[in-house]
Amino acid sequence: MVNNIDKEKLYEAFRSRDVRFDGRFFVGVSSTGIYCRPVCTARMPKIQNCTFYQSAAAAEAAGYRPCMICRPELAPGVFETDASSLLAKRAARLISENCGSCLRLSDAARTLGCTSRHLRRVFEKEYGVSPVKYMQTCRLLMAKSLLSETDLSVTDVAMASGFGSIRQFNHTFRQQYNMSPLALRKNAGNPEKAEGTITITMSYRPPYRYREMLSFYEARAIPGVELVRDGSYYRTVRMETDDGKAVCGWLKVSHLQKDNAIRLTVSNSLLPVMPKVAWRIKMMFDLFCDPEFVAETLKSMNRIRPGLFVKGTRIPGAFEPFEVSVRSVLGQQITVRAAGVLAGRFVSRYGTSIETGIEGLTHLFPAPETILCLEGNVEEHLGPIGIIGSRARTIRSLAAAIKDRSVLFESYADPSEEKKKLLKIKGIGPWTADYIAMRSMGDTDVFLGSDAGVKKALMGKDPKESEELARAWSPWRSYATVNLWNSLGGNT
């Protein structure tokens, strides 16, 4: 529960229905037994009936049910650097991405390098609930989204959301929400239907420079794997279920500007990994960003040149760690276009063909295992497609690091620690390590001072002067870097 000293201020924020506060707190209303987002359009309750919570999980743990009008499951997540505890933040990311799996607290603690007891203690202090309750809320809200927006059967919804059985799902849902899953679906109305696909909506805090994000992905799209068309992003997907079964398909991301949201559409084949897919898209399109927080620090960039910083800029993330790591190695000291050509050849030679029914989506990106299984010297295999020996060896080392998890590339990794490990791989320098951390690990504080585009945007300032400028932009230097790229107006 949020400190009641701030109750009047929070109530005024709730009354304003300002989108800047969306997802930053939730309001439990004792007279109705429901909890709402700060942007809810329902009748305003009296202040004495309101209790404020720092997370949806905390509101549900207090016995409140989610509002059917504002739908708390659509709220943007809490911005990562809000957490005073790095460990709690990393744990929340790990739980959110894996809520559809059978992840246990002991497994999470082992992954994060701590004891279960310590993890539980710091997590409860930061989020107001235990990790187990937090995961339960993640599962319930994913289920609520699927029930409201798709025509999937209740059984499919239960399994996709991480519940072990339909019986467990029905019991938990009734206990927490005081209604059956079918009753919620009836109240939600008729969802949009498209044969062979599943579609859900995910909100962000405006403004959002969607066009610039799309331009970034379009310039770096890997032929056969990704494409940008008619204002939407498409890609092929391969993931593994808990039992190691490969799941393949495709996805599409489009923009709902009037709703301050993006729409994620996936092929039905990806239902078993739906929570993981949704989480990666949230990271890839930086839906957790709070533009107001970032602007407070980065608006000073406009002293260098008017319009250099534009509020709403996001960090382009990565859906697949190995893919973006290989792409970053191929892009060393060559143009974006040339790196794309090499990536296309790499996919054509070692990727797996897939039928998507979408023109241009033809291949899955090569898995690390594919590269590790190449016989003999890797440079003999990659050399004929134009990848020089040193980079071929680096790609193989990256494949090994991902396979044996000697380096964690996921969003719950500690970027500062993982960058140290990356730098020990021959062929990975500071630029590449920082670029991977920014895109794959969601590091918000990367300044790519040696990048050619950044140098050009800073109009030839020497490295020492650029680094001095960038210090004032911490902890949002990744956003500063992207703003500098965007200011060039072309493919950087």
The residues annotated as belonging to the active site are 36, 451
* Helices 131-149/116-127 angle, 10° precision: 60
Grouping H, G, I as helix, E, B as strand and the rest as coil, residue 420 is: helix
Angle (CA) 231 237 240, round 5°:
150
Q: Side by side, which strands form the sheet with 246-256?
A: 197-203, 261-267, 246-256, 232-240, 226-229
Cα(327)–Cα(429) distance, rounded to whole angstroms?
Answer: 14
- The two tokens of residue 27 are 């309001």
Q: What's the Cα-to-Cα distance from 15 to each of 47, 70, 260, 448, rounded to whole Å?
A: 10, 14, 19, 41
Cα(96)–Cα(278) distance, rounded to whole angstroms?
Answer: 10
> Which H helix or E strand runs over 218?
helix 210-220
Angle (CA) 451 236 98, round 5°:
85
Provide CB contacts within 8 A for 54, sequence distance 6+: 1, 2, 25, 26, 78, 127, 128
Query: Largest alpha-carbon pair distance within the chain?
Result: 72
| 76 touches 23 (CB < 8 A) | yes
Q: Is the peptide bond before 366 cis (omega within 30 degrees of 0)?
A: no
Q: Which of 285, 294, 345, 343 is nearest to 316 (CA)?
A: 285
| 302 touches 424 (CB < 8 A) | no
Residue type, position 218, single letter = E
